[in-house]
Structure 1
């Protein structure tokens, strides 16, 4: 396996998670956000229940699961002191095609007719 295909597989695995995929898409539009701002936007995008508890739970998941993974693969930087998250410049070129593919698949799934209707 080549270095390029290993990196591609790592990126696909990373964006396969709905929260990380949406986080990257949101950061691609905004470049820098706080954990609270990102959590609020994720809750708005992914749930019908937009409660403070959902935002708080999403913040916890971001801090302990998703942000470390995104940082580990070199897509973001973030500060533990200010909780500022920044999408790295090189990451935009790498993830844009993958995000486009996932968004296309998600759009196709939501517009498919339901069997038997």
Structure 2
């Protein structure tokens, strides 16, 4: 986001002071509109993600979870069966570890 605002400032500065046919009268309404548009876009994103944290890591986790759910639906992946099989494998590994301990005693 910081890069966007820096690029916006740089483009506005260049357009106002270094492009002869552009000036404050033409660039100022454009930069105002872009600034207001970015504010409205940020507001819409916050409303869409209401209830979620605003920290970067929390938003990243939210987006990853949404992407994962979309991927699971697309490929018809059964998450409950996957969890069941993982737990079954864990129990089998625990039993094997116990059997190995008893075998070498």
Name the structure with the higher helix share.
2
- TM-score tier (shorter): under 0.3
Q: Which has the bigger relative contact order, CA under 8 A and spacing at least 6?
A: 1
Q: Greater Rg, structure 1 or structure 2? A: 2
Normalised by the length of structure 1, the TM-score is: 0.24
